A and B are shown apart, each in its own frame.
Chain A
């Protein structure tokens, strides 16, 4: 450590951009649109915005205040508040460690897809041909080419979490690259991170904007956007809607990991973090809404393309079965012809009745997908149908990478900053400590590149951090409100900002947020008890599947 002087951000803008880069991550792109669709489209914005103001912004403000006041990482900061509470900081560090282990795998997958986009035909557009050259590979034919590319060529997935194999070298190489880039970004601590966030925070918006224009001009995009924005107000009566809104706000802002405390600890003492907290939270929510418009435009396009392909197949089936001239049936008249032929030639029609598909645009739009299935399967499918698909593919995966890398910066900083505060490690140079942390996470992360790696990833993602974070933040807000005392906290903030927080903040911290968090906590406990053992969905290459994304899976406990 530089003899006593703590490094600082070069200017407050770097701090804001770092927070934005950390908070705006993959969840904004692949979780929020799913929730929106699940809970009645435009209507979901109401509980979402209410929860933003009831728990999101106050808790964000709280963490920034603690970090800036104590000027220490999470362990040191909580120990300073009360010596018995160092465990809260330690819990944050451990949770961040879990996150670091598995989060960079997503970046590795993004790299894999990005590098594979530099081909004349995107590899997930067609099924590869089998060894006899008689047709496509069976597994690919039963699923779709995009699913085959993700589950077989990218992951080489096994049939269950127990079945294992060697490391997938391509994945391992991409993971090494992801960790090298992470190391490059954080190697000098705040000095290097501060410069990187100018890019990682702003470029995704450029890509999202380009995609907005591209998405809106796609054929059939309007169907998707209309579908999203027609609110289904009856969903508001469903308690799950409100719980999902609260959970989404909570996890989207990245509370409880210690990253916000770490970032704020590098601030100047008198930095106006109140305004910054509000700005960053609003930007985060705004980005979620913006990203979901883009996602729904893409959904609409994909659904329309699938629907029209279905109509085309039906048309061909009718033409071939009844030997009619090619231009007698067009896509618009398919349904009329089905009725006509059914009445005039019932026996012949009955013969092909089982091959006849039910083409429905609504049901295509209804397929709500989240997570890696959305990002790597649904989006890839939509991109391969666009003209100049390589360009769009490259842009899209660069955006995913920047979002993921931005969040990784926060995650690793959350681990390194508290470690630096200990005497043993403060003698080590910045570069060495950061390198050791990255190396450690890389070696453990290689486990996710094995054939059963995706199942481990799902386990970590679904069960690793969610519950503990709720607990950590609950303890945090109760500590500050009642153990440390709101009055002392007020004075500290007045010391830093020059004015006391007004009644809104105080009520949120002392009453509303703890109550909401306790409610969420109880809900999760009940869910766990009802749910039994944790489950995951497994890929079975034998079973024939329905042509819907991520449905070629069956539940395994």
Chain B
């Protein structure tokens, strides 16, 4: 009887010390793809990096839940693989045996996602929290779509071209007409002067009435 109680106590204490396990109800799986993201400049994943992760996550929890002081010890990690995936759970600082709710953890991570990513020089795609979809950046909507601007430029050029092509023969015709009328005016002006000068005339003697010489 006593042995059974002892075994039960040992088991329960053992279980209590292991809140983190794969497929934990309040835990998340994290997957890092460091070599994909950084290639030759990839850092090796070791204990120190894991410490940084736990610290960053504690920071995220602190930022989200303003009053509570989360510490590195509140983030429990397990089931690490060579792929660099692991599970983590978050214990509450007020009650070390109680886990923080999944939803709260998700919100905290969403809020500080950028900070967490940049701590590891990774992106949403290479630092994945399985189950937390990243919020995508809103599309940039400029006031005038850029294609309309280029269209306007080309349309303006073509319109100007057509107007030039249609109007230029008319302009040429007008210019020709003006030149012709100018020439006419010059000619008539000269004639007028000539006429003016012939008003005086030269007296033609052969048609004068010479009574002294011929009398019929």
User: A residues engaging B (CB < 8 A)?
Assistant: 111-112, 114-116, 118-119, 128-129, 133-135, 170, 173-174, 177, 180-181, 183-184, 187-188, 192, 319-320, 323-328, 431
- Chain B interface bracket (under 10, 10 to 19, 20 to 34, 35 or more): 20 to 34
User: B residues engaging A (CB < 8 A)?
Assistant: 31, 33-36, 81-85, 133, 135-136, 138-139, 146-151, 154-155, 158-159, 161-162, 165-166
A326 touching B83, Cβ below 8 Å: yes
User: Which A residues lie within 8 Å of B139 (CB)?
Assistant: 128-129
Q: List 19 A-B contacts (CB under 8 A).
A: A116-B147, A118-B146, A119-B146, A119-B147, A129-B138, A129-B139, A134-B135, A135-B136, A173-B151, A177-B154, A181-B158, A183-B162, A320-B31, A320-B83, A323-B81, A323-B82, A325-B84, A326-B33, A326-B35
Given A118-B149, A177-B155, A323-B83; 18 other pairs, CB 8 A cutoff: A112-B147, A115-B154, A116-B146, A118-B146, A129-B136, A133-B138, A173-B151, A174-B151, A177-B151, A177-B154, A180-B155, A180-B159, A184-B158, A188-B165, A320-B85, A323-B82, A323-B85, A324-B83
A324-B83, A431-B166 known; A133-B155 Cβ under 8 A: no
- Among B35, B133, B139, B150, the one with the most A-chain Cβ atoms within 10 Å of its Cβ is B150
Closest-by-CB residue of B relative to A429 is B169
Taking the closest CB of chain B, its distance from the CB of A390, in whole angstroms, is 11
User: Which A residues lie within 8 Å of B35 (CB)?
Assistant: 326-327
Taking the closest CB of chain A, its distance from the CB of B142, in whole angstroms, is 10
Taking the closest CB of chain A, its distance from the CB of B207, in whole angstroms, is 51
User: Which B residues lie within 8 Å of A188 (CB)?
Assistant: 165
Docked Cα-Cα span, A135 to B139, in Å, equals: 12
Docked Cα-Cα span, A128 to B138, in Å, equals: 10
User: Which A residues lie within 8 Å of B159 (CB)?
Assistant: 180
A135-B136, A184-B158 known; A319-B166 Cβ under 8 A: no
B162 touching A187, Cβ below 8 Å: yes
* Residue from A118, A192, A324 in contact with B82 in the complex, judged by beta carbons closer than 8 Å: A324
B147 touching A118, Cβ below 8 Å: yes
Docked Cα-Cα span, A433 to B151, in Å, equals: 27
Which 5 pairs, one residue from A and one from B, show the smallest C-beta to C-beta distance? A115-B147, A323-B81, A325-B82, A326-B35, A323-B83
Closest-by-CB residue of A relative to B83 is A323
B84 touching A326, Cβ below 8 Å: yes
* Residue from B33, B151, B166 in contact with A187 in the complex, judged by beta carbons closer than 8 Å: B166
B133 touching A134, Cβ below 8 Å: yes
Closest-by-CB residue of B relative to A116 is B147
* Residue from A129, A173, A326 in contact with B36 in the complex, judged by beta carbons closer than 8 Å: A326
A133 touching B135, Cβ below 8 Å: yes
User: Which B residues lie within 8 Å of A129 (CB)?
Assistant: 136, 138-139
User: Which B residues lie within 8 Å of A328 (CB)?
Assistant: 82
Taking the closest CB of chain B, its distance from the CB of A127, in whole angstroms, is 11
A192-B165, A323-B82, A326-B33 known; A177-B158 Cβ under 8 A: yes
* Residue from A181, A183, A325 in contact with B83 in the complex, judged by beta carbons closer than 8 Å: A325
User: Which A residues lie within 8 Å of B162 (CB)?
Assistant: 180, 183-184, 187
Taking the closest CB of chain B, its distance from the CB of A396, in whole angstroms, is 16
- Among B34, B135, B155, B159, the one with the most A-chain Cβ atoms within 10 Å of its Cβ is B155
User: Which B residues lie within 8 Å of A327 (CB)?
Assistant: 35
User: Which B residues lie within 8 Å of A112 (CB)?
Assistant: 147
User: Which A residues lie within 8 Å of B147 (CB)?
Assistant: 112, 115-116, 118-119, 170
Docked Cα-Cα span, A319 to B128, in Å, equals: 14
User: Which A residues lie within 8 Å of B138 (CB)?
Assistant: 129, 133
Closest-by-CB residue of B relative to A180 is B158
B81 touching A184, Cβ below 8 Å: no
- Among A116, A129, A174, A326, the one with the most B-chain Cβ atoms within 10 Å of its Cβ is A326
Docked Cα-Cα span, A116 to B161, in Å, equals: 24
Closest-by-CB residue of A relative to B147 is A115
User: Which B residues lie within 8 Å of A319 (CB)?
Assistant: 83
Taking the closest CB of chain B, its distance from the CB of A135, in whole angstroms, is 7
Taking the closest CB of chain A, its distance from the CB of B101, in whole angstroms, is 22
Taking the closest CB of chain B, its distance from the CB of A283, in whole angstroms, is 29
User: Which A residues lie within 8 Å of B135 (CB)?
Assistant: 133-134
Taking the closest CB of chain A, its distance from the CB of B66, in whole angstroms, is 26
Closest-by-CB residue of B relative to A119 is B146
User: Which B residues lie within 8 Å of A192 (CB)?
Assistant: 165
* Residue from B81, B133, B146, B158 in contact with A135 in the complex, judged by beta carbons closer than 8 Å: B133
Taking the closest CB of chain B, its distance from the CB of A385, in whole angstroms, is 18
User: Which A residues lie within 8 Å of B155 (CB)?
Assistant: 173, 177, 180
User: Which A residues lie within 8 Å of B31 (CB)?
Assistant: 320
Docked Cα-Cα span, A173 to B165, in Å, equals: 22
Docked Cα-Cα span, A181 to B155, in Å, equals: 9
Docked Cα-Cα span, A431 to B162, in Å, equals: 10
Docked Cα-Cα span, A177 to B150, in Å, equals: 12
B136 touching A134, Cβ below 8 Å: yes
